[in-house]
């Protein structure tokens, strides 16, 4: 099985009796099993490779990629800012 690079991520696939799975950095990303195989005239491996090649042909926007930890931290920051603004508004209104 070949590894594919997409930006700073590694894409791989595994084959099974009825389809294939695609992984990004070891995490399951796409499950394709019968009857949901894109091109029934191709083997499972040919379908997996075609889907990966389609994905890696897309531009990589490094500055827009946010990993799960950064996303969670940003969500926390946003929640704190909203709470702070709410408290300021309540205080200004004398509630």
Q: For the chain, what are the domain ranges?
A: 1-63, 65-95
**Cα separation of the two ends of the chain:** 64
30-85 pLDDT, tens digit per residue, is 999 999 999 999 999 999 999 999 988 888 776 555 455 555 566 666 566 555 45
What backbone torsions phi and psi does residue 45 show, to the nearest 5 degrees? -65, -40
The 4-6 sheet, strands edge to edge = 4-6, 9-16, 19-24, 27-33
- The conformation of residue 66, written as its DSSP 8-state character, comes to -
Residue 7 has pLDDT above 70, yes or no: yes
pTM over 0.85: no
């Amino acid at each position: 099985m070949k590894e594919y690079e997409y930006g700073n991520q590694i894409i791989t696939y595994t084959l099974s009796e009825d389809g294939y799975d695609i992984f990004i950095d070891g995490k399951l990303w796409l499950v394709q099993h019968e009857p949901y195989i894109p091109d029934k005239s191709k083997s499972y491996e040919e379908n997996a490779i075609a889907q990966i090649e389609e994905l890696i042909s897309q531009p990589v926007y490094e500055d827009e990629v946010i990993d799960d930890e950064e996303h969670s931290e940003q969500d926390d920051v946003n929640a704190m800012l909203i709470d702070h603004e709410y408290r300021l508004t309540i205080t200004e209104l004398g509630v």
